[in-house]
Amino acid sequence: MSGYRCPTSSALDCVLSSFQMTNETVNIWTHFLPTWYFLWRLLALGSPGFHAEPYHLPLLVFLLPTCLYPFASCCAHTFSSMSPRARHICYFLDYGALSLYSLGCAFPYAAYSMPASWLHSRLHQLFVPAAALNSFLCTGLSCYSRFPELENPGLSKVLRTAAFAYPFLFDNLPLFYRLRLCWGRAHSCGRDALSCSHGYHLLCALLTGFLFAARLPERLAPGRFDYIGHSHQLFHICAVLGTHFQLEAVLADMGSRRGWLAMQEPILGLEATVATLSLAVIGNLLIIAAFTASLLRSPGACPLLQGGPLEEELEAKQQ
């Protein structure tokens, strides 16, 4: 209800606004600072010997979009007040980065986290290619969800939630199966046992989805949480914590199952990994470019590009 920036800000104004208290300030910093944390984790694992070992390649692939998605989100929240078109394009790119992150998760899960009974099954062989296709679906559906946002906000919310819930559920199929195998067992379930970090990751993911859908606590006290404490800020924090625990869980699987997995034939080599990532990046960029072109062709009177009463009031004050 308050704390909005001018909807026609310059790029410099947008950057400077990150050092002022607006309703986007905490959104910006809760993803800007984690970007550097994950980059530090990537560089800390970046010794030449570590890079040279093929067994570590899926982990490095996972860390690249892990650094990208919070940075893209930070940029989207920073520059979204330049214009209505800029706002939508910023979030198109944000959604694309999240889609690539969902693909990045599939690489270490396929390499380190598969249940023993799934190794070299058809699902295991197709797991990463299917995740690449899912990334296209995620980007396309989430970008499209912005078009009915004003006329049918309920449909927009459902589409966007589904766009990110589906890749999450698919990527975590190996963990759900291992959890089912080990649930309630008094004895150890061997190689399929999950670490505590897996549980924390899934709990944070559940909280992230709940906060995104429920819009709590601001629904209970409109205006009180405009600057600090609204659901999108909590959503950011839970998402970052979930990614941190996911990284720890991947490292735990990579270490505890190494002796056994080292004897297995890897699903994807270096060439296949690079090809899959390259095709996924190109495909997602083409989808974003298509939606951007459609947005740029839209007339200024299009409801998608119209500001609400608050934006009109801010523009009037500025004039």
- DSSP letters, 43-102, are HHT--HHHHH-GGGHHHHHHHHHHHHHHHHHHHHHHHTTS-HHHHHHHHHHHHHHHHHHH
pTM over 0.85: yes
Residue range 72-117, pLDDT digits in tens = 999 999 999 999 999 999 999 999 999 999 999 999 999 999 998 8
In whole angstroms, give the CA distance from residue 230 to residue 235: 9
Stretch 30-41: mean pLDDT = 96
In whole angstroms, give the CA distance from residue 128 to residue 201: 20
> Which residues in 206-216 are b (16+ Cβ under 10 Å) and which e?
ebbbebbeeee
Residue range 132-154, pLDDT digits in tens = 999 999 999 999 999 998 889 89
φ, ψ for residue 130, nearest 5 deg: -65, -40
- Tell me the chain's radius of gyration from C-alpha atoms: 21
Q: How far is CA 91 from the centre of its chain?
A: 12
Any idea which residue has 């004039």 for tokens? 319
Q: Is the per-residue pLDDT at 21 higher than 90? A: yes
Contacts for 1 with CB less than 8 Å, ≥ 6 apart: 222, 223, 226
Handedness of CA 150, 318, 297, 143 (dihedral sign): negative
Mean of pLDDT over the chain: 89
Which residues define the annotated binding site for Zn(2+)? 77, 232, 236
Stretch 212-216: mean pLDDT = 89
Neighbouring CB atoms inside 10 A of 314's CB total 18
Which residues define the annotated binding site? 77, 232, 236
